[in-house]
Amino acid sequence: MGIISIEKLDHLYWLGRYTERVYTTLRKFFRVFDDMIEAPEGSYTYYCERLNIPDIYTSNQQFAESYLYGKDNPDSLYSNMNRAFDNAIVLRDELSSNVLSYMQMALDVFEKEQREMAPLLELQSVLDDLLAFWGCVDDYVEDEECRNIMKCGKYIERLDLYIRLEYHTKDIEKEFSKLTNRLHKTPMYYDAATLEKIAGMIHDKLSCPEKMAGRDQELLDCLGNIIEVR
């Protein structure tokens, strides 16, 4: 595993996952929110089901507020942004202040929104900050293994969300290709047989969709078993 400790490897991996979780789910939320404006109460239920999060909400408005900013809601975007920041802050030496600044700015937007409930449009800057974060990772994180571990976490999370949110299989295939290209360049332990099984399932999903009907959970389970941090 070289000079990267198990603890740092874990933080790098989960930094990638939580950052991507905020980015992809916020992008999806914008579309869900647009649909909710004229939709009946409870129109968010399908979204909760796809992400496998508890439907604890009482109205469309309460869902929007709690899911975005809920401090006591472990599934809120605010909570996930906090987790991303917590992982980043212990990696300050590996990331540099330039990279950390974008994580801080993204978190600050959620804090500002909570206090002032500014227009939802303000959250667009979170997406911009997270894109800038990944750009700075490429420019300022000198250790290639650190970058690759973070991006493996990013692509694992993106695959998980794309499958849950029913993205086109071609998009899933593209992200899986990015993951496999990065995995081979990291010191992480991964299950090659599971990786090969996922490749076959994605191929079947693309070429013969009926063969994969109802098997998304099996695909997600395999995805969760690829990497072992030890």
Q: What is the largest CA-CA distance in the chain?
A: 55
Average pLDDT over residues 34-62: 88
Average pLDDT over residues 17-23: 98
Q: What percentage of the chain has pLDDT greater than the value 70? A: 95
Average pLDDT over residues 4-12: 92
Q: Is the pLDDT of residue 181 over 80?
A: yes
Find the range with the poorest average confidence among 10-14, 152-156, 210-214. 210-214
Give the Cα separation of 20 and 27 in Å (integer).
Answer: 11
Q: CA-based Rg of the chain, rounded to a whole angstrom?
A: 18
**E strands present in 110-149:** none
Q: What percentage of the chain has pLDDT greater than the value 90? A: 76
Average pLDDT over residues 123-144: 95
- In degrees, rounded to 5, the angle at the alpha carbon of residue 90 between the alpha carbons of residues 138 and 117 is 85
Q: Where are the domains of the chain?
A: 6-228
Instruction: Assess contact for 227 and 188: CB atoms under 8 A.
Output: yes
State the angle between helix axes of 97-116 and 77-89 in degrees (0 to 180), rounded to the nearest 10. 150
Instruction: Assess contact for 1 and 187: CB atoms under 8 A.
Output: yes
Give the Cα separation of 49 and 150 in Å (integer).
Answer: 28
Q: Is the pLDDT of residue 21 over 80?
A: yes
pLDDT at res. 55? 94
pLDDT in tens, 209-219: 898 888 999 99
Give the Cα separation of 63 and 70 in Å (integer).
Answer: 10
pLDDT in tens, 101-133: 999 999 999 988 766 655 577 899 999 999 999
- Confidence class for position 230, pLDDT limits 50, 70, 90: low
Q: Which residues pair with 189 in a beta bridge?
A: 228
Q: How many CB atoms lie within 10 A of CB 196?
A: 11
pLDDT at res. 117? 56
Instruction: Assess contact for 191 and 228: CB atoms under 8 A.
Output: yes
pLDDT at res. 1? 42
Calculate the average pLDDT of the chain.
91
Which residue matches tokens 């997270």?
130
Q: Is the pLDDT of residue 65 over 60?
A: yes
